[in-house]
């Protein structure tokens, strides 16, 4: 239902997205059966294709060229996919979006190399763009994402962390790639520097709002909708915004400890989720997301009106309020 709503927001750009989808399928069509199967598994598990749609919409503020846009969009979506495969190794996750992960279906080594392979495919795609800035920006983004992942390992199961630690982490985990999607989309279509900057900031703020909602949904949604157990973040040792607010509450401590040391029972998981939902932490986290969302929308204000701007606004609002 929710997914249908998102797709309806993409409706005007269906042709562009379909083209990118085909390019994505082609680019993982390896002669190695394992790589092909693993990549297609990832691709077909879907996802919201937010990076491609942000590239498309940002490109509309300049001289739109479907070909260039597709190369950038494919590259960014592949980088996103590759990082998911490697994340699943770190989190030892068996399921993502209801599908078995690569590391669960094969093993960690295959997951590592499938990720590497998809990264390389991403480079092949962007390699055809002849703008130096594009390559530098992409490399910097990847670098920051990697740093973020190491920091994420560092903070795993660590109770002693701040609001700022969390924000820095989600910036690298999500906001940067969305920000770069907008920036690169605008760059390849030669939008003016001012427009590039605004779109880049829009992507960043929308990304922050998006990730906070994602972290909220990990608690408020159902196992079925998530395609993995609710509360997975805690079970994987990651404190997120809602749980950061209550981590020091006495009643919450046993849940936290047992989540981190892997002894939480199924029953306790349900209790824990109930506890967090009642604590008010969800509402506080949602307010932070709303603030970021507002900042994102403010960036768009002075941009020229048109279907791209109105679609960006609607998608951002959807991402900040969504239920899946």
Does 114 bind a second copy (CB under 8 A)? Our answer is yes
Write out the binding residues for a second copy, residues 21-50 only, by CB under 8 A.
30-32, 34-35
Does 147 bind a second copy (CB under 8 A)? Our answer is yes
> What are the angstrom distances between the C-alpha of 114 and each of 141, 142, 148, 236, 302?
20, 17, 20, 22, 42
Q: Which of the ranges 54-62, 142-150, 165-173, 187-195 carries the binding residues for a second copy, by CB under 8 A? A: 142-150
Residue 100, classified by CB atoms within 10 Å of its CB into exposed (0-12), middle (13-18) or buried (19+), is middle
Q: Which of the ranges 58-66, 84-92, 228-236, 272-280 carries the binding residues for a second copy, by CB under 8 A? A: 84-92
Does 167 bind a second copy (CB under 8 A)? Our answer is no
CB of 3 to a second copy, least distance (A): 30
User: How far is Cα 228 from Cα 226, in angstroms, rounded to an integer?
Assistant: 5
- Give the three-class secondary structure for 99: strand
CB of 150 to a second copy, least distance (A): 5
- Residue placing its CB nearer to a second copy in the complex, 17 or 126: 126
Which of 49, 60, 71, 86 touches a second copy (CB under 8 A)?
Answer: 86
CB of 112 to a second copy, least distance (A): 6
Does 113 bind a second copy (CB under 8 A)? Our answer is yes
The residues facing 100 across adjacent strands are 95
The residues facing 96 across adjacent strands are 99
- Residue placing its CB nearer to a second copy in the complex, 66 or 151: 151
CB of 315 to a second copy, least distance (A): 28
DSSP state of 322: -
Closest CA to 301 of 192, 183, 162, 195: 195
CA atoms within 13 A on the CB side of 2: 13
CB of 156 to a second copy, least distance (A): 9
Does 190 bind a second copy (CB under 8 A)? Our answer is no
Does 157 bind a second copy (CB under 8 A)? Our answer is no
User: How far is Cα 176 from Cα 79, in angstroms, rounded to an integer?
Assistant: 12
Question: Which residues lie below 8 Å from residue 193, measured CB to CB, with a gap of 6+?
Answer: none
Question: Which residues lie below 8 Å from residue 47, measured CB to CB, with a gap of 6+?
Answer: 80, 81, 97
Which of 143, 249, 261, 274 touches a second copy (CB under 8 A)?
Answer: 143
Binding site for a second copy (CB under 8 A): 30-32, 34-35, 86, 89-90, 108-110, 112-117, 119-121, 123-124, 126-128, 130, 132, 135-136, 138-140, 142-143, 145-147, 149-151, 153-154
């Amino acid at each position: 239902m929710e997914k249908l709503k998102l797709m309806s927001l993409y409706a005007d750009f269906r042709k562009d997205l379909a083209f990118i989808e085909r390019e994505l399928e082609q680019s993982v069509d390896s002669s190695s059966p394992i790589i092909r199967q693993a990549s297609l598994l990832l691709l077909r598990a879907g996802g919201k294709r937010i990076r491609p749609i942000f590239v498309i919409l940002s490109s509309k503020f300049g001289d739109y060229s479907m070909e260039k846009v597709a190369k950038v969009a494919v590259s960014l979506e592949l980088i996103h996919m590759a990082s998911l495969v490697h994340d699943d190794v770190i989190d030892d996750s068996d399921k993502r979006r209801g599908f078995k992960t690569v590391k669960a279906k094969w093993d960690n080594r295959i997951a590592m190399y499938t990720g590497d392979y998809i990264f390389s495919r991403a480079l092949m795609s962007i390699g055809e763009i002849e703008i130096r800035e594009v390559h530098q920006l992409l490399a910097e983004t990847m670098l920051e994402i990697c740093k973020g992942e190491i920091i994420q390992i560092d903070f795993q199961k660590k109770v002693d962390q701040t609001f700022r630690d969390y924000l820095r982490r989600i910036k690298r985990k999500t906001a940067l790639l969305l920000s770069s999607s907008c920036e690169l989309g605008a760059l390849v279509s030669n939008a003016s520097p001012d427009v590039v900057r605004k779109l880049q900031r829009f992507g960043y703020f929308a990304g922050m709002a998006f990730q906070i909602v994602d972290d909220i949904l990990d608690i408020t949604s159902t196992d079925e909708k998530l395609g993995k157990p609710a509360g997975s973040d805690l079970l994987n040792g990651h404190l997120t915004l809602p749980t950061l607010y209550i981590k020091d509450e006495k009643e919450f401590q046993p849940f936290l400890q047992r989540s981190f040391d892997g002894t939480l029972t199924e029953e306790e998981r349900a209790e824990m989720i109930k506890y967090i939902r009642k604590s008010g932490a969800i509402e506080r986290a949602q307010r932070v997301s709303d603030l970021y969302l507002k900042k994102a929308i403010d960036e768009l204000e002075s941009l020229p009106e048109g279907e791209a701007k109105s679609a960006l606004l609607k998608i951002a609002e959807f991402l900040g309020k969504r239920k899946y």
